[in-house]
Amino acid sequence: MIPIRHTLPPRTTPTVNRGLVIANGIVFLTQIFLGDRTESVINLFGFIPARLTNPAAYGYSMLEVCVTLVTSLFLHGGFVHLIGNMIYLWVFGGAVEDALGHVRYGIFFIVCGAIGSLTHTLLFPHSTVPSIGASGSIAGILGAFLVLRPKARIVTLLPLVVYWAMIELRAVIFLPIWFAMQFFNGFLSFAAAHRTQEVAGVAWWAHVGGFLFGALVGLIARRGKHERVTPYAAETEDV
């Protein structure tokens, strides 16, 4: 499923979200210009679970490893990886920034990514494969969006047997399906890792951890006495 846009009218300009998209794009262009040195950059600034569980073995301090929880969010493994993440960030991030405010949204983005990486580490503590990309952060945004804007309609591009169809799905349908796919793939990766003793590919459990944390933050924000979401949602989501 490829989200195109949601139907909620914006109340504020999502400056932080746009800045995050631009920053990820600039970093990726830098990776391209670095050429063969990109692998070294990914190993240096990507998040490696084994480096967190035993930093001294890799010549890192705990602070340096914690810094990679942030730097890894802006690195991507290829054009498809980048575009896939940025589509979701662009479509869903603005509404969450609307609800949380600019500063809180920026902090939320970073913390969701870190929580996602730590969830991945809990399940694969000895993995030496760098974990990169904003997927954990974006998963957190999706979790928050589901709680804050469950009735929002998502214009979605669906691949059918011989053609693509464009339909509107409620967030309460679209996002649980997305989460179920991450959860299912996470179990498959866990089983594969036990057979091979290595972790490769997508860090699915980072998506799961980020999503659940984002949903929790969304729930807290929705119940906050100064939260602006409920009146807004009631006025606009069913337009």
Higher pLDDT, 107 or 178: 107
How many C-beta atoms lie closer than 10 Å to residue 37's C-beta? 10
**2-236: which CATH architecture?**
Up-down Bundle (1.20)
Please answer whether residues 201 and 189 qualify as being in contact, where contact means their C-beta atoms are separated by less than 8 angstroms: yes
Calculate what percentage of the chain has a pLDDT beyond 70: 86
Look at residue 164 in the predicted model and tell me its pLDDT: 78
Please answer whether residues 133 and 47 qualify as being in contact, where contact means their C-beta atoms are separated by less than 8 angstroms: no
Please answer whether residues 48 and 129 qualify as being in contact, where contact means their C-beta atoms are separated by less than 8 angstroms: yes
pLDDT over 60 (residue 196): no
Kindly state the average pLDDT of the residues 181-193: 70
| Bridge partners (DSSP) listed for residue 155 | 5, 168
Q: Is the four-CA dihedral 9, 11, 12, 17 of positive or negative sign?
A: negative
Confidence band for 212, pLDDT divided at 50, 70 and 90:
very high
Report pTM: 0.87
Helix boundaries (H) for the chain:
15-34, 38-45, 49-53, 62-71, 79-100, 102-123, 135-148, 171-196, 204-223, 229-236
Mean predicted lDDT score pLDDT of the chain: 86
